A and B are shown apart, each in its own frame.
Chain A
Amino acid sequence: MTVSTTVLDELRGIVGRRNYTHDPAILETYRYSLSHTAIHLGPFFDVYTPRGAAVVLPGTTEEVQEIVRLCNRERVHYKASSTFWSAQGYPSQDDTVILDMRRMDRILDIDERNLFAVVEPGVIAATLQAETMKVGLNTHIAGVGCSASILAGATSFFGSGPSNLYGGHAFDNLMAMEWVTPTGDLVRTGSAGAGLGWFSGEGPGPSMRGVARGFLGSKGSMGVYTKCSVKLFGWPGPRAALPVTGTVPAYRVDLGPQFRSYTLAFPSWTAWADATQLIWEAGIGYIAHRQFNMFGRDLKFAMVKILTDPDGTLEDLAPLLEQADVQAATADMTRDFQIVVAAQTMRDMEWQEAALAEILEQTGGWKVQAMLAPDIHDWSLLYLVRLGHKNLNLVFGGSYDGAFGLLGPIDFGASLADDAAAFKLEWEKKGAIVAAGGDAMMGPIGGQGGGGSGLWENFTCFDSHDRASTEGTLEFFTAVSRDFMAKRGLGVGMENWNAAARGSDGYATPKAERDAMHLATPQPDVWRYQARIREALNPNDLGDAYYETLEDA
C-alpha cells in the first residue's frame, strides 16, 4: 500500500507545511542502521530500517490526535519517536508515518514539594537534570545516557542505569500520563485523569500504566504519549548549574567533600557480589555502576587516561597498554565497580565513608588509587552524575551491542561472570570484535531502586563499516545465545531481545517466527494478555511488533 497524496496533504494540513515532509532524501535521515547498535538485534551489515512515508513534527497533543485519527481512518501505520535512538524508535514496515516529537519539548512543571516533574516527549535527561538541580532535586538517568528522552524511557522502555540506586528504573518513576490512544482518543491516567494534578500514576483516576506500556514498554507501538510526570529525587549538590571545569572533552567537576567517586575492586566475584549486597543493606551510595569496564577489562584504565587527557587520542591506546603504571592500575581494577557516595551533611558523609570502609574490610575489597587522582576522580564524578559521555560505548569502531545480559540476583550474575568473559575472549581471538580482555561486562549494581538485583551486559564493540567485523559479531552473538545462554538454561540473551520484533531485513519479523519465539519464553501468557489489550485498544493494529503479542488461542 502506498500512502495517498490526499492523506499526505491532510497530514501537511494538520501540522503545517514547515513541519511536514515526504521528500525522499529527508526521509533517508529517518532510517537507522542495523549494522551498528540496534539494541539488541543483529547486527546486520548494511541493513536499514524502512523509509517512512512522511515525517510530521506535531506541536500539540491536539495535532497528535488528529494525525492518529487520520491514520486510523486511512489504515496507515504510524510510529512516534522522541530522540530516534536505536532501531526500536523507527518504522518496521513500509509506508509508515513518522511522528518526530522533537517540537514538544517543554518541561511543564517541576513540583519541588511533591517531588515530580511533568515533561513532554522531547525533554532529555540532561535538560531536566539541569533544571531540577537548581531546586535541589535530581532525575534518574537511564543507562543510555542523558541524551535520551525522559518520557520515552518512562513510558516506552525500561530505563535502567547508574542512578537506579537512588532512582529505580525509569518505568518505576512513571506517574501520570497523557496518552493519545492507538485510535486517537485522549486519556489522562492516574491523578491527572481525575483532574487532580500529576502526582500519582495509580489514582485517583485510571491506573493504566501496565495496559499502556505493556512488558518493557510499548516502544512507540501503542499510540503516542504526549506528557507524563516522573518522580524526582534529592540532590545533595549545589542548587545551580554544575560547576564544570576542564578542557573539552576532559570535563570534570569538583563538588566538594560531600561527593566522592570511587572505583572499588575485589579479590573475587563472590566478594564483589557480597559488597554490593552490603552496600544495599547499609543504604549507602548515590550512584553505582560497573561503568568503565564497558571498554573492556584490559583497556579500561588506558581509556580513562585517554579520556581525561584533552590531547588524548585512540592512537595513544596501544602505547598506553605497554606502560607499567597503566598495566598495574588495570590489574588493580579487574573486578570493579564505580560508586558515588554523596551526602547532605558531612556527618552523613562520614557515616557512609565509615560504612564503606567496613564493607571493604569485610569483603577484602579496596579503593583503586589510580582512579583517585584528582583529575580522574572529578572526571569520573561528572561522568556518573550527568551520564553525558555514554556514547563512548561507540568510540572504537562506531558500534557496540550487549551480549550475554542478565537481570537478576547479583550473586547469580557474578557466578557466571568468569565463564561469560572466557567465552567472549575466545571470540575476540577471531578478530571481528575489539580485543578487550573478554570481560567487558557493565551495568548497574542496583538493578532496582535501592538494590536487590544487578544487570550484566557484556559490551561487544565492532566496526559497522566493515562487513567482516559486523558479520563476525553476529556470529558471536548467535554463539552466545546457542552455546552459552541456552546450554545454561539462561533464556534469551540480551543480544536477541528484540529479535521478536524486527528481523534481519529491517522489517517486522514474520508472525509465525514471532509466535514461535513468544511461545518459547517462560511466561507466554504475558504476550497473550497483550494481544487482548491490543485487540481492544488498537483494533486496526497500526503499531508494530515492538508491542509483543501472541495470538495462538
Chain B
Amino acid sequence: MALIDYAAEADRCSACSGCKWVPYDQVKSWRFAKNCPSVSYFNFNSHSARGRYALTRGLVRDEIEITEGVEEVAFSCLTCGACDVSCKVCRYNLEPGEMVRELKTYVVEQGHENAVLRATVDTVEQTGNPFGKPRAARGDWAAGLDVPRLPAERAKVLFFAGCMYSYDEQLQEVARQSVRILRAAGVDIGILGSREMCCGGRWAGAGHKAEFERMAESNLKAWRAAGVEEIVTSCSDCFHAIARLYPPLGSAFTVTHTVDLLGQLAAAGSLPWRSEVPMTVTWHDPCHLGRQGEPYVPWEGEEKKVLNQVVTFDPPKPRGNGAKGVYDQPRDLLRAIPGVELVEMERIRESSWCCGAGGGCREAMPEYSAWTAGERIEEAVATGADALVTACGWCERNFLDSTDATGEQIAVVDILALVERALAAPTAPESMTPAGEGTAR
C-alpha cells in the first residue's frame, strides 16, 4: 500500500476524535481515559489519527508540503495501534493503524528522514543491532547455557532472542531464563547467536520500510539455512515483526511468544510449580503482543458498495481490531503461579497504554518517550502492585529507565522471572529481581 491508497479513507474519516480516547465503553476514570500518547503529549489535532488522515489528504492532493510540523507528527507516532482499536469500535471500513505507518514511510521516502533514526538504522544494517554492539557478541548472553547453536547444531524450535535481550546487560537474564525454562519443559530449542539479525520491526514502524525488508530477508535466509521449523521469542516487538510483518514478504514460519507457549505448558501440567512467589503484580499488555499480536490474515480484494452506499469489501476483510491479541495467556500464567496476585490497571488488553518505546520514538524523541512510560508507571502504581510485569524487552527498558529517573517505587519484572522463581526449589525469601537483574525497589 502507498499513501495514495488511503485517500478515500481520509475523505471518509469523520474527525470524530474517537481515536484520542480508549473505547468510550472502557473509560473508567478521568485520569486514565486517553489512549494516544502522541496527541496526549503534543495536544494538537494533527498528532492524532484524525489529524494524520487530514495530513494524508493534504499530502496526496499536493495541498500541503512536508513541514517540520509534519515530520514531528509522523515521527511522534508510536505505531501502538490504540487509535485503530478505538476507531474500529464504530467504523468498519477504515484502517487508521495502517495509515499512520504509511504516512511515516511516505515522509521518510520523500527524503524527510529523522537524523537520529537514520543513524540508528544505519547502525542496525552495519552491526545487526541498534546499539552498535559487535555482531559477533550477539550470542554471548547464552554463554554457559547448554543450548544448540544453529545451523551447526540442530533444533526443532529456534529461540529468537532479539536485540534488547541479546545485548542489554540488565535484560539478558530474560533470554537465559527463556532457554532454561523451555528446555526444562522439554522444548527442543536452539539459537542462532551471531547469525541472528535485528528483526527490523521497530524500523518498519519508524518508516524505514526498505531497510526493514533487508533485515527480514537476512533472518529468513538464516532460518531457512538452519532448517528451522518454528520460532519462539520472548520479545513482543520481535513477535509482532515475525508474526505480522514477515508473512507479506513470503515468510511461512510460525512464531509463538514465550508467554503463549508457557501458558500452554502450564495448562498441560508441564510446569511443576515448586515455590510460592508472594507478590501483587499488574500486567502491562505490550502493544505488539496484545492489540497488534493478532494472527496475520492475508487479504487482497476491492471495495464493493451494497445497499447503494454501504462501503464493504470483496472478499470480506478481516477486522484486525485488536480482539484476538495475546491477552489471556499471560494473565492465566500469572494466576497459575503460586502466590501471585494479579491486579489490573484501568487501560488493559486492547485499550492498553503504550510504553513509549515504539515507532522509533525511544531513539528519536527520548523526552516524549520517557513521558509516555511515566504515564504507564503512574497507572501501575495506582493499582498498589509490587511489580509491573510484562513480556517485551523494549517495554521493560523504557519502564526501567522511567523508574530510575523518577524513583517510583515499583519493580519492573519480566514474567519469566516470576515463572523461573516459581519453578525453582524453595529458598529463603528474597527480593524480586527487576526484569532479570538489578535491585528490587
Q: Which residues of A are at the interface with B, using a C-beta cutoff of 8 A?
A: 19, 21, 23-26, 28-33, 35-37, 55, 57, 83-85, 100, 102-103, 107, 123-124, 126-131, 145-147, 241-242, 244, 247-249, 251, 253, 299, 310-311, 313-318, 382, 386-392, 394-399, 428, 431-436, 461-466, 469
Is there an interface contact between A318 and B29, defined as CB atoms closer than 8 Å? no
- CB atoms of A434 and B90 under 8 A apart: no
B307/A435 in contact, CB under 8 A: yes
Give the nearest-CB partner of A391 in chain B: B90
Residue on B nearest A19 in the bound complex, by CB: B43
Q: Is B306 an interface residue (CB 8 A)?
A: yes
Q: Which residues of A contact B64 (CB under 8 A)?
A: 24-25, 28
Encode B47-84 as 1/0 by CB contact (under 8 A) with A: 00011001101100001111111100100000000000
From known contacts A395-B92, A398-B13, infer whether A251 and B58 are also in contact, taking CB-CB under 8 Å. Answer: no
Candidates A128, A299, A391, A469; contact of B16 at CB < 8 Å = A391
> Which listed residue, A19, A33, A84, touches B45 by the CB 8 Å rule?
A84
A100-B44, A249-B321, A398-B14 known; A244+B26 contact, CB < 8 A: yes
Show 30 residue pairs from A and B whose CB-CB distance is below 8 angstroms, ordered by the A residue. Answer: A23-B67, A23-B68, A25-B64, A25-B69, A26-B44, A26-B70, A28-B54, A28-B57, A29-B54, A35-B11, A83-B17, A85-B16, A100-B45, A107-B30, A126-B33, A131-B30, A248-B23, A251-B23, A253-B25, A316-B316, A317-B310, A388-B27, A391-B16, A391-B18, A396-B311, A399-B12, A399-B14, A434-B310, A435-B307, A465-B8
- Which residues of the other chain, A, contact B93 by a CB distance below 8 angstroms? 314, 397-398
Residue with the greatest number of chain A CB neighbours at <10 A, chosen from B21, B33, B310, B317: B310
Q: Which residues of B contact A (CB under 8 A)?
A: 8, 11-18, 21, 23-30, 33, 43-46, 50-51, 54-55, 57-58, 63-70, 73, 85, 88-94, 305-317, 319, 321-323, 346, 350
**Cβ contact within 8 Å between A391 and B15:** no
- Give, as a whole number of angstroms, the nearest-CB distance from B324 to chain A: 9
**For residue B8, which residues in chain A have a CB less than 8 angstroms away from its CB?**
465
Docked CA distance A129–B85 (Å)? 22
Interface-central residue, B25, B55, B88, by most chain A CB under 10 Å: B25
Asked if B70 contacts A25 (CB within 8 A), the reply is yes
Contacting residues, chain A, for B57 (C-beta < 8 A): 28
Distance in angstroms from A387 CB to nearest chain B CB is 8
Bound-state Cα–Cα, A37 to B26, Å:
26
Contacting residue for A465 out of B11, B50, B51, B91, CB 8 A? B11
Contact across chains for A28 and B90 when beta carbons are under 8 A apart: no
A314 to B304, CA, bound (A): 11
B46 and A251 within 8 A (CB): no
A425 to B111, CA, bound (A): 52
- Contact indicator A318/B307 (Cβ below 8 Å): yes
B16 and A436 contact, CB distance less than 8 A:
no
CA of A249 to CA of B24 in the docked complex: distance in angstroms? 11
Q: Residues of A contacting B29 with CB < 8 Å?
A: 127, 130-131, 241
In the bound complex, CA of A130 to CA of B322 (Å): 24
Complex-state Cα separation, A399 to B73, whole angstroms: 26
Contact assessment for B312 and A103 in the assembled complex, using a CB-CB cutoff below 8 Å: no
B residues in contact with A465, CB < 8 Å: 8, 11-12
Task: Chain B residues near A84: list those with CB within 8 A.
Answer: 15, 17, 45
Which applies to chain B's interface (DSSP): helix, strand, loop or mixed?
loop
Name B322's contact: one of A21, A55, A248, A315 (CB within 8 Å).
Answer: A248
Tell which of A55, A386, A396 has the most Cβ of chain B within 10 Å. A396
For the complex, what is the distance from the CA of A33 to the CA of B14, rounded to whole Å?
8
A26 touching B73, Cβ below 8 Å:
yes
Q: 3 nearest interchain CB pairs? A: A388-B24, A398-B12, A23-B69
Q: Which residue of B lies closest to A299 (CB)?
A: B307
Across the interface, do A241 and B28 meet the contact criterion of CB distance under 8 Å?
yes
CB closest chain-A residue, reference B325 = A248
When the two chains form their complex, are residues B307 and A248 in contact, meaning their CB atoms are under 8 A apart?
A: no
Give the distance to chain A from B19, nearest Cβ to Cβ, in Å: 10
User: With A244-B26, A310-B323 as given contacts, are A434 and B311 in contact (CB-CB < 8 Å)?
Assistant: no
Nearest chain B residue, comparing its CB with the CB of A28: B58
State whether B323 touches A33 (Cβ < 8 A). Answer: no
Chain A positions within 8 Å of B16 at CB level: 85, 147, 391, 394
On whether A127 and B33 interact (CB within 8 A), knowing A57-B43, A249-B89, the answer reads yes
User: Which B residue's beta carbon lies closest to that of A98?
Assistant: B45
Q: Is the CB of A147 within 8 A of B44?
A: no
Q: Is A127 touching B27 in the complex (CB atoms < 8 A)?
A: yes
What residue in chain A is nearest B10 (Cβ atoms)?
Answer: A465
- Bound complex: CA of A284 vs CA of B309, how far in Å? 39
Min C-beta distance of A313 to chain B, whole Å: 6
Whether A466 lies near B30 (C-beta < 8 A) is no
Question: Which A residues are CB-close (under 8 A) to B67?
Answer: 23-26
Contacts of A103 in B (CB 8 A): 43
State the Cβ distance, A438 to closest chain B Cβ, in Å.
13
Point out the residue from B55, B88, B312 that lies within 8 Å of A249, measured CB to CB: B88
- Chain B residues near A124: list those with CB within 8 A: 21
**Distance in angstroms between the alpha carbons of A462 and B316 in the assembled complex:** 21
Find the residue from B23, B85, B309 having the highest chain A CB count within 10 A.
B309
Residues of B close to A33: CB separation below 8 A: 11, 15
CB distance from B10 to the nearest CB of A (A): 9
Which chain B positions have C-beta within 8 A of A123?
30
Whether B12 lies near A313 (C-beta < 8 A) is no
- How far apart sit A71 and B21, CA to CA, in the bound complex (Å)? 32
Given A28-B63, A242-B25, verify A21-B44 contact (CB < 8 Å): yes
Contact partner of A102 (CB less than 8 A), chosen from B12, B43, B322, is B43
Contacts of A436 in B (CB 8 A): 307
A315 close to B21 (CB less than 8 A): no
Whether B92 lies near A85 (C-beta < 8 A) is: no
**Which single residue of chain B is at the shortest CB-CB distance from A146?**
B24
CB distance from A145 to the nearest CB of B (A): 7
Which residues from chain B contact A130 at a C-beta distance below 8 Å? 27-30, 33
A497 to B307, CA, bound (A): 28
Provide the residues of chain B in CB contact with A35, threshold 8 Å. 11
* Shortest distance between the CB of A193 and any CB in chain B (Å): 27
A434 near B68 with CB under 8 A, answer no
